[in-house]
Structure 1
Amino acid sequence: MFQGRSLLKEIDFTQAELAYLIDFAIHLKKLKQNNIPHAYLAGKNIALLFEKTSTRTRAAFTVAANDLGAHPEFLGPNDIQFGKKESTADTAKVLGSMFDGIQFRGFKQSDVEILAAESDVPVWNGLTDTWHPTQMLADFMTIKETLGDYVGKHLVYVGDGRNNMANSLLVTSAILGVHITILAPEALQPDTDIQHIAAEKAKATGSEIIITADTNAVKGADIIYTDVWVSMGEEDKYDERINMLMPYQVNSDLLAKTDNPNCIFMHCLPAFHDLDTKTMADIHHKTGLTALEVTEAVFQGKNSVVFQEAENRLHSIKAVMAATLGNLFIPTV
């Protein structure tokens, strides 16, 4: 069912398969908390390809591989050509002959697709400009842990609605039966192709989809989710995005508009919520702002589950690796 498969984007898996991976991640988290060994990948070698910088994804894949008994090998942009001096296809064939599984975090979705097609080993998408599937497993795992379930809950994503997080949250919510609102200015709303994919998936699950620029749409939300306003590779767009997105900052006023005291706040991190980064300090010097997409009060508030969410990257990634490479007995789902 899962053995030998790649996770390249959320639509690679059915609702039942995603639900299984989320539940398996919760199980693996309990095993780790109770110091119960689970070396399902003993003796395996895992290539970790990073074209983009990373904290959570690199740490999660490394610890996940070690916990599962595998041997991870980090290969950064100075180690792998990524199409510069050797084609992605040639690289895939070489790595596939040496490693049992490959993680890729980079820019082009086509690169991770080529790696999967040419390597003959499972390939896991740690992030591309289009999709972020391992983050989705961690996110909906966190929602289930916190709210008891994700089915029928209302998730509102606020901010840049055209990035990989908005794409993935929109489509994954539709697959899982979560009601999803993308709250963004019209110029930053999801591409129509992504909206069409989500709409098709929603027909089977009853997920309600709203795309809007009206901040009143947060009313009744169970989850408020945001992400940075400028993605990697867009660093020249800070002034433009600040002007467009400041009305969509997640602050105490926006959270109060939900009329739900139990509404949780989520963010995939890193977040510009204070002045303790050089980037935010520079923005503060120029604009006087002390936060961007989320204020310190919300980020550190009682409704925030961002660090639980971050930890769950480990357990959900571990579930994907074990299920696709561990020769596990998994009942039909």
Structure 2
Amino acid sequence: MNTKDLLSISDLSPDDIGRLLSDAIELKARGWNSCLSGKTLALVFEKPSLRTRVSFELAMKQLGGEALYLSPAEVGLGKREPVADVARVLARFVDVIACRTFGHDTLVQLAKYADIPVINALSDLEHPCQALADILTIYEKKGELKGLNLAYIGDGNNCANSLLLACAMTGINCRLASPEGYLVDKAIFAKAKAYAEDSGAELYSGTDLKAALRGADVIYTDVWTSMGQEAETEKRLKDFAGFQVNAKLVSMADKDAIIMHPLPAHYGEEVDREILECPQSVIFDQAENRLHAQKAVLRDMLGGLEIGGRH
């Protein structure tokens, strides 16, 4: 990897992503092994989690290592104890930190003061581990990446930011349709455009649903109101009217389009329940792939080798 840390999907190169996908597929097929025996992961979480916590804990266990979960009350990042101190203490005990936090700056501080790898397990800016699992799922279902059309419908949030960058790096044409005021981060879009110049990906960010969905091989949506935005719920419900992924919107895409959602879903808001229950939905394969993508990242970061020097 380009750096010791994975704070953004852009900490990876396109070649890194390709290698991690290959490793994830291999690890998924092989199951349990002991390549990270003696290694320990600290999970420092400020937000609740189902998929992220379970997938990281099992990833370490299935690779022969250990995981230690630290709840918000136990650590109190930046409140009970300065982030810099937490980073330097944990670096004396464990081999890698995965942090799920509200502010991206917390991750930056952890990475600055810890001389061990730090992984972004979700921040307000990006969710790179989710993006890796998403790209892995798309490759499994479609057999390719370059030239595919992905339509992202909804809030230009942290998942959208990482997914856009990952698509641009792997040659997937990524079209994001959001209401005015909820478009993807401009700096992230500019960075994605630079990647797209090399990969040949076509990018769009705007309010036109038809433009995003036309010929889409993948339809992706996420919640309209993320954790920490609950006070905005009523306003967002009004602003996102018409952006629900339902049968009408799905009919605008390719007939073989797969439907994705990082979960948890707010049924009846960003997506109709029947859509995520239909044969085109791959949301639970997508959720499972969090485990396999993260196993690849952990093995890469910690240099896990088995007998004979083989990954």
**Shift in Å at residue 63 of structure 1?**
0.4
Q: Which amino acid aligns with 2:13?
A: T
SS of residue in 1 equivalent to 2:58: helix
Q: How many residues align?
A: 307
Give TM-score scaled by structure 1 length. 0.89
Q: Secondary structure at the match of 2:241?
A: helix
**How far is 1:71 from its partner?**
1.2
Equivalence for 2:45: 50
Percent of pairs with identical residues: 40
Cα displacement (A) at 1:313: 0.3
Match of 1:176 among 158, 170, 177: 170
1:137 aligned residue? 132
What is the Cα-based RMSD across aligned positions, in Å? 1.5
Runs of 4+ in 1 over 2 A off after TM superposition: 326-331
Aligned match of 2:236 = 241
Matched with 1:30 is: 29
The letter for the 2-side match of 1:293 is: E
- Which of 192, 200, 209 is the matching residue for 1:206? 200
Q: State whether residues 230 and 237 of structure 1, in contact with CA within 8 Å, keep that contact through their aligned partners in structure 2.
A: yes
Note if contact 1:246-1:293 (Cα within 8 Å) is conserved in structure 2: no
Cα displacement string for residues 143-202 of structure 1 (whole angstroms, at most 9, x for unaligned residues): 0000001111111100112x1011111111111111000101121112221111111111
- Give the gaps of 5 or more residues in structure 1: 274-290
For residues 2-151 of structure 1, what are the structure 2 equivalents within 5 Å? 5-32=4-31, 37-151=32-146
Counterpart CA distance in 2 for 1:320 and 1:115 is: 18
What is the Cα deviation at residue 327 of structure 1?
Answer: 4.0
Within 1, Cα distance between the matches of 2:258 and 2:46?
Answer: 32
Which residue of the other structure, out of 272, 275, 296, is the alignment partner of 1:298? 275
Separation in structure 2 between the aligned mates of residue 295 and residue 251 of structure 1, nearest angstrom: 5
Alpha-carbon deviations, 1:28-82, whole Å to 9, x = none?
11112xxxx3211101111110011100000000100111111111001011121
- From the superposition, tell whether residues 120 and 330 of structure 1 become closer, same or farther in structure 2 (CA, over 3 Å): farther
Counterpart amino acid of residue 128 in structure 1? S
Alpha-carbon contact 2:132-2:166 (below 8 Å) kept: no
**2: distance between equivalents of 1:106 and 1:39?**
30
Choose which of 279, 295, 307 in structure 2 pairs with 1:318. Answer: 295
Tell me the secondary structure at the aligned position of residue 257 of structure 1.
coil
Q: For 1:43 and 1:246, how far apart are their aligned partners in 2?
A: 51
Corresponding residue to 2:247 among 242, 247, 252: 252
CA distance in 2, matches of 1:248, 1:81: 37
Q: Report if the CA contact (8 A) 1:64-1:318 is conserved.
A: yes
Gaps of 5+ in 2: none
